[in-house]
Structure 1
Amino acid sequence: WIEDKKGDPLYRYGRQGNANDYTAQSEDLGDDAMLASSYGIENLKRIMTNLRDWTYVTGSDYTELGEMYGEVRSQYNRYMGHVRRYVGGVKEDYKTPDQDGMVYTHAPKAKQKEAVKFLNEQLFNTPMWMLDNEILGRLQDYGAVEDMRGLQVSTLNDLLGWGKLGRVIENSALNGSDAYSMLELTADIRAGLWSELRGGNAIDTYRRNLQRAHIEKLGQLLTEDEPASRFGNSVDASQSDIRAIARAELKSLQSSIRAAIPRTSDRMSKIHLEDALERVNSILDPK
């Protein structure tokens, strides 16, 4: 029976203890998190449109509205978690020696690239549909900007986390051009996070916060070491490609920001870019 069912995904067992396996995640039963999450987000948008009506109770307060809005945010963040695990992801498929194939295989290059594209479009391009002032104005006096910053930056930091980058580098070492390299990953992230630079477009509050976080994270990769952990393999940052690529990314940003400042007319955006350039300069050439 086991031999008959091998290869059938309906019968595959995936333990949820492996945080690197993009095919075994909680509340994720499909085989394409990007497609499933796209459908899920469309449903969340419909919920947001009707949230006030669906939680309305005559004579009550906004407790129910607040709880349901929190659930929308939590579900959205869960979708982001499902997608980002593809990047640097490794499928674990238990086998016995008499079965063909590997136990561990890296996520396909195309799917990793698709995951970053999804995150650029659905998260780093700020999901304004979640920032409905008709709802927020009934729930809190302050905190929406910081909440969104936390939502976006947590995923950014995960994408550029030590362990994930270590797996990306190892995938390239083992599989060459078939792998999604760290150079491609960091370039795709930079293109998404700093898209305003090409046209000198205004940069809003949410994106300014995210761009500062990007600079800060690259600075950490360049100057710090991975915190000690009892779990998994660690990366020796000083002897890996991480430092070199982080430096190259900062230099690319330095050049792009410097070129964008003269063609940026929005005052706050120009101030932000001047500050961002100073931050990059300070990391690359600390006094």
Structure 2
Amino acid sequence: TAAVDPRARTMHFSDELMGDLIRFVSSHEVGHTLGLRHNWGSSSTTPVEKLRDKAWVEANGHTPSIMDYARFNYVAQPEDNITKTGLYSRIGDYDKWAIEWGYKLLPNSPSPEAERAILNKTTVERLKDRRLWFGTESNPDDPHSQNEDLGDNAMKASTYGIKNLKVILAKLPEWTKEPNEGYEDLDNMYGQLTTQFGRYMGHVAKNIGGIYENPKTVEEAGKIYENVPAATQKEAMDFLDAQLFTTPTWLLDEGILKNIDGNPVQVIAGLQETTLTRIISNHTLFKLISAEAEDGATAYKVSDLFNDMNTIVFRELKSNQAVDVYRRNLQKMYVEKLIALVKPPAPVDPAAAALAGGRRAGGAPRDADKEMTDVVSVAKAQLKAINAMIKASTSTDSMTQYHLQDLSDRINETLNPKG
């Protein structure tokens, strides 16, 4: 929040600020002692633009639950003039409802069974207010339930977050400077900034192949599980193209990197690799294939994903442009992810792999999803398509030629192994 809160622009917080922060953290922990679980979905019930509305967010908070991991309002912009009341978490609507549900005395209930019926009827009615919704901490597929995220649209929220990170980055040397000290604080805070950027990428990437979960009892209408709409998944891909796969050179502040021994190639590659690992994974591709079976033409299909990815990652090949070092690394990582789907690396600990997933004839670990779906077939098709693009390229840049020949060799070795 340093872009919007001057109190955060130092390595030494005031007692007042530390008191505020301890108050919100301890409120969260007291919630646990009263039996409340993390509600990582709570912040998703707040429209992104409301997080910039000074009157609204100061009255309602940026998340309805202190039990969310939605620590700070990173969407708020400097021009919004939002005070501390709208910047960090406090006890909210969900928390009060959850305590009422768990602790309110029902003196007219003759038995536990009768009390359950009363509570369920009340719950069905109260949950018409989305701010009282509970989103679990344990669902790996629902983009509504994420830690450290804000708002009902990760792409919009993360765009605002990145705007603030750019403000912070420009001031980071000044705000971390300590007389008679080195650059350890700058190194630490630059790492925190790039980690936050990575969180935004993760919040967005979870939409791809995402599945919403809305728990219901049999008395409630509607589906529990629904695939994230194709338009939202495409919006996520467009965001990742603009903010991550198109090299985010703004992160590579030479004045910072030269003082912390930062390697710009490693900074970018580390951020891109994490997101590629999530998207080009057996789990995500399996979900996309299943979604097409469920939703048909309206689904964001696995073929849509790879059409987008191939266009994004190999953009230079269509215009025969030179491929710079950052994009060469991205293309290598992408191809290696596809190769790993076709030809998984041997497990480091075969015994552990056997316990985790069972074994098939011949001793290889079994991956039931890939054996029973089109994941390997699709991955092979992408490798062939990439090889065709490489062969059609006429770039005269020598490093680009070396790089593309290397990619082609890797693909050929995977698809046509010798011996």
Q: TM-score range by the shorter chain?
A: over 0.9
The equivalent of 1:160 in structure 2 is 280
Secondary structure in structure 1 of the residue aligned to 2:138 = coil
Does 2:253 correspond to 1:132? Answer: yes
The equivalent of 1:248 in structure 2 is 381
Contact 2:124 2:220 (C-alpha < 8 Å) held by counterparts: no
Does 2:313 correspond to 1:193? Answer: yes
Q: Go from structure 1 to structure 2 and tell me whether the alpha carbon gap of 1:163 and 1:121 turns closer, same or farther (over 3 Å shift).
A: same
Q: Go from structure 1 to structure 2 and tell me whether the alpha carbon gap of 1:20 and 1:226 turns closer, same or farther (over 3 Å shift).
A: farther
Which residue, out of 338, 341, 344, partners 1:224? 344
The separation in 2 between residues aligned to 1:61 and 1:90, in whole angstroms, is: 47
Does 2:334 correspond to 1:214? Answer: yes
Contact 1:202 1:269 (C-alpha < 8 Å) held by counterparts: yes
The equivalent of 1:282 in structure 2 is 413
Contact 1:162 1:226 (C-alpha < 8 Å) held by counterparts: no
Does 2:404 correspond to 1:273? Answer: yes
The equivalent of 1:112 in structure 2 is 233
How big is the shift at 1:267? Answer: 1.6
Does 2:266 correspond to 1:146? Answer: yes
The separation in 2 between residues aligned to 1:118 and 1:230, in whole angstroms, is: 35
Q: Go from structure 1 to structure 2 and tell me whether the alpha carbon gap of 1:226 and 1:189 turns closer, same or farther (over 3 Å shift).
A: farther
The separation in 2 between residues aligned to 1:249 and 1:62, in whole angstroms, is: 45
Contact 2:212 2:227 (C-alpha < 8 Å) held by counterparts: yes
Which residue, out of 171, 184, 191, partners 2:291? 171
How big is the shift at 1:58? Answer: 2.4
Equivalent position amino acid for 1:217 in 2: K
The separation in 2 between residues aligned to 1:7 and 1:121, in whole angstroms, is: 36
The separation in 1 between residues aligned to 2:411 and 2:345, in whole angstroms, is: 19
Contact 1:162 1:235 (C-alpha < 8 Å) held by counterparts: no
The separation in 2 between residues aligned to 1:162 and 1:226, in whole angstroms, is: 16
Equivalent position amino acid for 1:31 in 2: D
Secondary structure in structure 1 of the residue aligned to 2:226 = strand
The separation in 2 between residues aligned to 1:243 and 1:154, in whole angstroms, is: 21
Contact 1:160 1:217 (C-alpha < 8 Å) held by counterparts: yes
The equivalent of 2:3 in structure 1 is none
**1:17-71: per-residue Cα shift (whole Å, max 9, x none)?**
1111110111223110000001101110111111111222222211111111111
Gaps of 5+ in 2: 1-121, 348-352, 358-366
Q: Go from structure 1 to structure 2 and tell me whether the alpha carbon gap of 1:242 and 1:187 turns closer, same or farther (over 3 Å shift).
A: same
| Structure 2 length-normalised TM | 0.64
Gaps of 5+ in 1: none
How big is the shift at 1:230? Answer: 5.4
How big is the shift at 1:238? Answer: 3.0
The separation in 1 between residues aligned to 2:228 and 2:205, in whole angstroms, is: 12
Contact 1:226 1:237 (C-alpha < 8 Å) held by counterparts: no
The separation in 1 between residues aligned to 2:410 and 2:239, in whole angstroms, is: 28
How big is the shift at 1:225? Answer: 8.6
How big is the shift at 1:223? Answer: 2.5
**1:70-118: per-residue Cα shift (whole Å, max 9, x none)?**
1101110110110000011111111000100111111111111111111
Does 2:183 correspond to 1:46? Answer: no
Please list, as runs of the form range in 1=range in 2, the aligned pairs for 1:258-269 lying within 5 A after superposition: 258-260=391-393, 262=394, 264-269=395-400
Contact 2:282 2:369 (C-alpha < 8 Å) held by counterparts: no
Which residue, out of 187, 192, 202, partners 2:322? 202
**1:221-252: per-residue Cα shift (whole Å, max 9, x none)?**
12239985859xx6431331111111111111
The separation in 1 between residues aligned to 2:369 and 2:147, in whole angstroms, is: 31
How big is the shift at 1:3? Answer: 3.5
How big is the shift at 1:192? Answer: 0.6
Secondary structure in structure 2 of the residue aligned to 1:105 = strand
The separation in 2 between residues aligned to 1:136 and 1:225, in whole angstroms, is: 34
What is the root-mean-square deviation in Å for CA atoms of aligned residues? 1.9
| Structure 1 length-normalised TM | 0.93
Does 2:207 correspond to 1:86? Answer: yes
Secondary structure in structure 2 of the residue aligned to 1:91 = strand
Equivalent position amino acid for 2:265 in 1: V
Q: Go from structure 1 to structure 2 and tell me whether the alpha carbon gap of 1:238 and 1:82 turns closer, same or farther (over 3 Å shift).
A: same
Secondary structure in structure 2 of the residue aligned to 1:265 = coil
Contact 1:86 1:112 (C-alpha < 8 Å) held by counterparts: yes
The separation in 1 between residues aligned to 2:199 and 2:128, in whole angstroms, is: 28
User: Which shows bigger deviation, 100-109 or 264-273?
Assistant: 264-273
Equivalent position amino acid for 2:182 in 1: D
Contact 2:278 2:284 (C-alpha < 8 Å) held by counterparts: yes
Secondary structure in structure 1 of the residue aligned to 2:212 = strand
Structure 1 vs Structure 2: percent identity of aligned residues? Answer: 39
The separation in 2 between residues aligned to 1:30 and 1:236, in whole angstroms, is: 33
The separation in 1 between residues aligned to 2:320 and 2:408, in whole angstroms, is: 15
Which residue, out of 135, 144, 147, partners 1:26? 147
Contact 2:150 2:157 (C-alpha < 8 Å) held by counterparts: no
Does 2:378 correspond to 1:257? Answer: no
The answer to which structure, 1 or 2, has the higher relative contact order (CA under 8 A, 6+ apart) is 1
Does 2:361 correspond to 1:237? Answer: no
**Which structure has the greater CA radius of gyration?**
2
Equivalent position amino acid for 1:221 in 2: L
